[in-house]
Structure 1
Amino acid sequence: MTTTRPRPWLPAALAAGALVTGLAAPSAHAGGDGPAPLGTVARTAGHARFTPGPCPRTADPVPALEGARCGTLTVPENRSRPGGRRITLGVAIVPAVERRASDPIVWFAGGPGDDAVSEAQLAVNGGLNRDRDVIFMSQRGTYSAEPALTCPNIDEFNARAVGLVYNAPSTGRLHVRATRECRDRLARLGADLPAYDTSESAADYADLRAALGLRWWNVFGISYGTDLALTYMRRYPQGLRSVGIDGVLPPSLAGASLTWSAARQGFDGLFRACAQQPACARRYPNLQATFERLVRRLEARPVTTTVRVPDRPSPVKVVLDGGVLVNWLTSATHLAAGVPRSIDALAHGDPSRIAEQWAGGKLSPQAVGRLAHGLAYGVFCREWTPYETEADVIRAGRQAFPSFPRSVLANAPQLPFLHDDCRAWNVPPAPPSIRNVTRSSIPTLVMSAGFDAQTGASNGAYVARTLSRSTVVTVPYVAHVAFAESPCAQSITVSFFRSPTAADRSCLATVRPPRFEIAPLPS
């Protein structure tokens, strides 16, 4: 989950009817002079329509979209009211580099609330389009969709909050106020907020396959996109050749409680790697104990400092408490080589390294106006909080980190004040079936990462128990979403889609731990 705090109901008969209608029409690849390139033919499937057109907007230039075939998918905002308002989802199809297989890959972005079209470069850099077209469609509400349910006011509050005590009740009240302001603005714009959830997003992708005239395709989901992928393969298995999921979030377990287990696993993986590297072990002995002691100490007596942040003319005030330290490390496993040195510096009175990283992420221009909070809270408040209590979150935190103070445990990593936020968001819960376990014989690559502190590696083994043709892989020494930073993970993924029951995992034997930074001993 990449959100910084990291989806109404489609009857089965309607879903099947829409899908059959779409697939009964002539193939979009059929033509008198040979097959038309995927995404170049306008087509209607049920209540949805694909229209070729310009590529969707992105917050930053995406070179991978040069030469892409693009357009929009128009769908009902709320499928229980098919005659109501319609929304458009941006679509981009990046062509294969080599000889093209007939079954493309569709990319499911994370978040919830990240924009898939903006992630095209990540997929291309990882070689995903080597011999298959790759399809990117913005999930409803995200940056390249219309409407885009982004809320810059929340992002701006998160930037200001680096100067506040993270777990303080006063911070919580301000946090909820920003959430309520976001909700009220989106409601005034006419958004049907309960319609932005995983169920509707899954139906959007079923409509896309039909509207593109595809008999078969493959799915690759990352982070929250794995929740969406597992929901999709449970509800719309027709036409699914294979599924890859990386950074696994099981719908049946998703929620704030699960993030505590993930944090424990990711932290332990990193601490263990340091302990197994002699130079790191000698210089930073008992790193786990040092970290947990710092969480308790800072929660009791927060430290205030000032740091320089890129693009900011003046020094920035930063408050470090126990909650900040936990949330910092949840993301800092992506920068694993420097983590022991940063923890040691803080233990010896220098908070600058951690403060700079913490503030730099929140104050970056890339952190404002890009995440679709309208979709994120639709997922959180319809699918997660109705099925776990605040006491459940604390209980899970205490099981993972028995020594942490209650004030830290009450705010799960990346999801502070979530239940209060959801009371302000005020949408009805999704039906309990949204949390059903996915049981399938579709070939599935289940990929996890050894340093993943956001969706722990044990989630992969959990979902694989009911996926009878799954290939389970844990890539060591990398953080959340292995495909994003591991050439080995990329190689395995490409190999899997080429041969879904015989993925080549031999590169795992060559993966090595990071070389941890060794600082001079303090004088």
Structure 2
Amino acid sequence: MMTGLFRCRFAFDRRYGLLTIMAGVAFLVFCGYSANIAAADFRKTKCWFDIPRDREMTCGSLHVPENRGKGSGAEIALATVVFQPDRERYEPVVFLSGGPGQSASISTREDIDGWWQFISQQTWMIGRRVVVVDQRGVGMSKPALDCSGFFKTDDWKRILPSVDADATRLDKVRKDKVLACRSALTSRGIDLSAYSTSESAADIDDLRKELGIGRWVLYGTSYGTKVALEVMAKHPEGISAAILDSVLPPDINYLKEDGPNLARSLKLLDRDCRLNRHCMRDLGKAVETIVRQLDRQPILLRSSPEANAPERYRYVSGVDFLDILFDSFYDRNDIEMLPPLIQSIYKHDYGPLARLIFDDEGDQTGIFEGMDFSVTCSESAPSRLSGKRAEYWTRWSESVDYSWICPLWLPEALARSKRQRQQSRIPALLLSGEYDAATPSDWAYRAAKTLPSSQVVVFRGVGHDVIDSDPCGSEVVADFLANPGRKIATACLQHLEAPQFVKPDVQWAGLRTRRSAAGLPKKWPPSSRFDRRH
């Protein structure tokens, strides 16, 4: 589930297929957003996809004011799907996707089949209505803050697309495209400042009321946990419990945390490698050596010859190498493949790296960039280096910081870098993967300080998105919901192991998880981490 934080890597292609023309027209009919509206209203409609046989579903759109701070304003519509159980026995659950800007994947029949499969694998979801909504600004909600039409992959990839690529030219192209997308959205009357975590939280509260649900369970992943925490703080009524998977606290300025978080995950990898006879020694030092060498002299890689296809070239620097490592810490399977990848590069065998990069070029994101920009620019202050000595990851950390967008996107906004944490006594389960570089376990413990009725469970050897990474996650959630006040002691936690690293002599298979260029794993439901972000 990519649940994901999504860190902007600027390869903004759409991950989802197009709806049929008729389905698209049908949805647009009930999802107009230009009219004024004073209060929320849920409008049931025919589903825009074929409902699977022997399944019961409800489709519709939640219509709310675009900006609740204004006395009157535009109406927006949030696409909503309710997965009905065979027999309802427990309180409903609402899913909050990651991002910011992550679609909930409810556009096509394929998406819906994926959701049903996911629900069937979660014992704690059996007997519950599962409510899935595209948050404001994303997916099938209207308007969608989609900039993909303005961004070409070659303009945005930091792995430069040709041997003579001009970084200065690319920077200008990027800024021009950001301004072009902003102009296109604002010319339609869209208030970009209204697309925020607080407004999304108010949407979720309105959705519960309009669906006639007395109490439900919040289930957020990555950035979705930040929305859930906002709902718990501002709209606590009607929430029986919260499942927070890969936690993003509201007061974290994530634009300046990537470097230290990646370094922490690499230390864990080095620690576990020292206990595994298949790993090279001093893996951490090898990574630092590779990064410094590639930053001094990027390596020019060439794609493997293909019939009737031109050769492709990419320069790869230490920054690009660390980007690949960061992506890999999302998924346990990828983590287990990292030591042989690092070892091959350290020995100047770049074949596995080349295959990884060129095989990854067609991957697409599920992030709606405009929503990501609006949330990030209004809620995270620009990061600044501390002035301490440069670490081997410093250049990478600077390169993934996209706060330069903010003066262009929301020139009038002042980011709230120190959002006050608020206490909530709602029972909450906070799940964290030990290796997660996007939302590390420290963040879960930080959020728990304001949740006196919460428990934190860290999963050994797991990366981002615990529930979709290991079946034990589902068992822990089921135990928690059965008795939220009881200390978690699920048996499967005792059997979690360190990553089982692949032998160096095993033929390279490549990383199995493809994330946006949102590092989004092809799992259900999807998440993100700022193009991988949260």
Alignment TM-score, normalising by the size of structure 1:
0.80
Uncovered stretches (5+) of structure 1, i.e. residues with no partner: 7-44
SS at match of 1:70: strand
Show the counterpart of 1:512. 497
How far does residue 230 in structure 1 lie from its aligned partner after superposition?
Answer: 1.0
Task: For 1:171 and 1:237, locate their aligned partners in 2 and report how far apart those are by CA, in whole Å.
Answer: 46
- Matched residue type, 1:105: V
Secondary structure at 1:516's aligned position in 2?
A: coil
Cα distance in 2 between the residues matched to 1:62 and 1:511: 38
Does residue 1:2 correspond to 2:6, yes or no?
Answer: yes
2:97 to 85, 109, 112: 109
Which residue of structure 1 aligns with residue 83 of structure 2?
A: 94
Give the distance between the partners of 1:52 and 1:309, measured in 2 at CA: 53
Q: Match for residue 47 of structure 1?
A: 39
Structure 1 segment 127-142 matched on structure 2, within 5 A: 127=122, 128-142=124-138
Q: Are 1:410 and 2:398 an aligned pair?
A: yes
> Number of residues paired by the alignment?
462
| Structure 1 residue 315, shift from structure 2 partner | 4.0
- Structure 1 residue 479, shift from structure 2 partner: 1.0
Query: For 2:42, what is the secondary structure of its paired residue?
Result: strand
User: What is the rounded CA distance, in whole Å, between the counterparts of 2:40 and 2:453 in structure 1?
Assistant: 32
Match of 1:481 among 465, 471, 480: 465
Distance in 1, matches of 2:436 and 2:89, equals 32
Distance 1:313 1:132, change over 3 A: farther
Separation (CA, whole Å) in 2 of partners of 1:464 and 1:474: 13
Structure-2 separation of matches of 1:199 and 1:249? 15
Query: C-alpha deviations, 1:396-435, integer Å up to 9, x for none?
Result: 9x68xx5326533423xxx34x121112112443674981
Shift of the alpha carbon at 1:186? 1.8
CA distance in 2, matches of 1:77, 1:425: 18
Q: 278, 282, 301: which one pairs with 1:305?
A: 301
Superimposed CA distance per residue, residues 8-67 of structure 1 (whole angstroms, 9 cap, x where no aligned partner): xxxxxxxxxxxxxxxxxxxxxxxxxxxxxxxxxxxxx9711101113357xxx9979953
Are positions 1:231 and 2:230 aligned together? yes
Give the number of the structure with larger relative contact order, counting CA–CA contacts within 8 Å between residues 6 or more apart.
2
Cα displacement string for residues 162-210 of structure 1 (whole angstroms, at most 9, x for unaligned residues): 3359995554333333322222222223321111111111111111011
Determine the structure 2 residue equivalent to 1:500.
Answer: 484
1:252-271 correspondence runs (5 A): 252-271=251-270
Amino acid at match of 1:395: S
Q: Distance in 2 between matches of 1:70 and 1:310?
A: 45
Give the residue type in structure 2 aligned to 1:124: I
Deviations 1:461-516 (A, max 9, x none): 11111210111100111111111211111221233233322345321111123321
| 1:260-294 CA-partner distances (Å, limit 9, x unpaired) | 232223222223222222222xxx11111101111
Distance 2:139 2:429 in 1: 28
Distance 1:361 1:309, change over 3 A: farther
Range with bigger deviation, 430-439 or 191-200: 430-439
- The amino acid of 2:496's aligned partner reads V
Contact 2:38–2:64 (8 Å) recurs in 1 = no
Letter in 2 for 1:436: Q
Q: Distance in 2 between matches of 1:253 and 1:311?
A: 49
* CA spacing shift, 1:54–1:319, aligned 2, 3 Å: farther
Cα pair distance change 1:496/1:56, threshold 3 Å = farther
**Structure 1 contact 55–71 (Cα < 8 Å) conserved:** yes
Matches within 5 A, 1:339-488: 339-364=338-363, 366-367=364-365, 370-385=366-381, 389-391=382-384, 394-395=385-386, 403-404=391-392, 406-411=394-399, 415-416=400-401, 418-429=402-413, 432=416, 435-488=419-472
Query: Secondary structure of the residue that 2:218 maps to in structure 1?
Result: strand
1:173 corresponding residue in structure 2: 172
User: C-alpha separation between the residues in 2 aligned to 1:64 and 1:361?
Assistant: 35
Residue 371 and residue 310 in structure 1: after superposition, are their counterparts in 2 closer, same or farther (change >3 A)?
farther
Name the SS of the counterpart of 1:101 in structure 2: coil
* Aligned equivalents of 1:311, 1:181: Cα separation in 2: 38
Query: Deviations 1:201-254 (Å, cap 9, x if unpaired)?
Result: 111111101111111111011011111111111111111110111111111113
Measure, in 2, the Cα distance between the counterparts of 1:343 and 1:433.
36
SS at match of 1:242: strand
CA separation of 1:311 and 1:327: change in aligned 2, threshold 3 A: farther
Instruction: Report if aligned partners of 2:323, 2:396 keep a CA contact under 8 Å in 1.
Output: no
Separation in structure 1 between the aligned mates of residue 145 and residue 307 of structure 2, nearest angstrom: 26
For residue 250 of structure 2, what is the aligned residue in structure 1? Answer: 251
**Residues 323-367 of structure 1 deviation map (CA, whole Å, 9 limit, x = unaligned):** 111111111122011111111111122233234334544532x33
Query: Aligned with 2:151: secondary structure?
Result: helix
Query: Do the aligned partners of 1:65 and 1:92 also contact (CA within 8 Å) in 2?
Result: no
CA distance in structure 2 between the partners assigned to 1:258 and 1:506 by the alignment = 34
Going by fraction, where is helix more abundant, 1 or 2?
1
The separation in 2 between residues aligned to 1:359 and 1:427, in whole angstroms, is: 37
Note the C-alpha offset of 1:140.
0.5
Q: State the match for 1:276 in structure 2.
A: 275
Tell me what 2:530 maps to. Answer: none
Is 1:147 aligned with 2:143?
A: yes
Aligned 8 A contact 2:147 2:181 in 1: yes
1:326 aligns with 2:328: no
Q: Which residue of 1 aligns with 2:31?
A: none
Q: Which residue of 2 aligns with 1:71?
A: 60
Superposition map of 1:156-195 within 5 A:
156-157=153-154, 161-164=158-161, 168=167, 170-195=169-194
In 2, Cα distance between equivalents of 1:521 and 1:131: 44
Helix, strand or coil for the counterpart of 2:208? helix
Distance in 2, matches of 1:310 and 1:124, equals 41
Change (3 A) 1:125 1:425: farther
User: Structure 2: which 5+ residue stretches go unaligned?
Assistant: 11-36, 508-534
CA distance in 2, matches of 1:431, 1:170: 28
| Alignment deviations for residues 363-398 of structure 1 (CA, whole Å, 9 cap, x no partner) | 32x33xx3111110011110002xxx442xx239x6
Q: What amino acid is the match of 1:108? A: L
TM-score by length of 2: 0.79
Kept after mapping to 1: 8 A contact 2:42/2:60: yes
Q: Counterparts of 1:310 and 1:78 in 2: how far apart (Å)?
A: 52
